[in-house]
Amino acid sequence: MEQVLSDLWQTRTDSPFPGLTTHAFLWTARNALFYSTATDADFAELEALGGISDQYLSHRDEAGPMLAAIAGRFGSALHAPVTELLEIGQHAHVDVPLTGRHVDANDVEIIPTPGHSPGSTCYLVNGAEGKYLFTGDTLILGDSGNWWAGYIPAVGDADALGESLRLLRTLSPDVVISSAFQGDSAVHRIQPKRWTDHIDQALDGLSAGLTSY
């Protein structure tokens, strides 16, 4: 485990395939885990940090055997998009199916952002160091320094993803935390007034048919 912000810790690096890496993130203000782990190697450290009360998946690609293991170890409630219950439910019971934009009892704002996958969902929280936006694979910063829309041809929906990015453009996050990422980190501080530029860069790439994958 590594502390990346005063109230945010990341699990060890997982590599789903070469060139792409992932972390899960524990927001200690609510003991909420965003995304998921590939192994149970960090369970003892997660427990030492207070455990996991709730786990939030951004989309179906994060589902796997560890969902049941996390719920069994920590007694956590699993939050996941209702659109992808069939795929995610093959691995664990979804306690809180998510639909529509709203703020839940943990002060997590649920923001549906379809396009990378039908149920892709972003999460916005008021953290100790500003507003944290968990974008899943909807938006990532590539190792080239460019911001990318997480579009996979023949899998995603480019039109829906474009609309989702335009929705994210209306937000003002201080920190963006993706699930999959390229480069050194998934955690990026956003300079004042640069957020719309980052979104526009991702939209331009999407329109040009470019992909980070």
Q: Which residue has the higher pLDDT, 19 or 159?
A: 159
Q: How far is CA 34 from CA 44, 124, 179, in A?
A: 17, 11, 9
One-letter identity of residue 187: V
For helices 195-207 and 158-168, what crossing angle results, to 10°?
170
Can you tell me whether residue 162 is helix, strand or coil? helix
**Residue that wins the pLDDT comparison between 210 and 20:** 20
> Is residue 18's pLDDT more than 90?
no
pLDDT tens readout for residues 113-168: 999 999 999 999 999 999 999 999 999 988 778 899 988 888 899 999 999 999 99
| Phi-psi category of residue 183: left, alpha or beta, with phi > 0 → left and psi -120 to 50 → alpha | left
**CA 135, 58, 106: angle at the middle one, nearest 5?**
90
Nearest to 21 by CA among 4, 45, 1, 38: 38
Spatial distance between the Cα atoms of 6 and 167, rounded to a whole number of angstroms? 28
Mean pLDDT of 183-203: 91
Residue 168's pLDDT is 97
Instruction: Give me the DSSP letters along 70-104.
Output: HHHHH-PEEEEEGGGHHHHTTTS--SEEE-SSEE-
Whether pLDDT at 212 is above 60: no
Q: Which of 61, 213, 60, 209 is nearest to 150 (CA)?
A: 213
Rounded distance between C-alpha atoms, residue 139 and residue 142, angstroms: 10
**Distances 207 to 49, 93, 161, 202, 203 between C-alpha atoms, Å:** 43, 37, 11, 9, 6
Percent of the chain with pLDDT over 90: 79
pLDDT of residue 211: 58
Tens digits of residue pLDDT in 28-76: 999 999 999 989 999 999 999 999 999 999 999 999 999 999 999 999 9
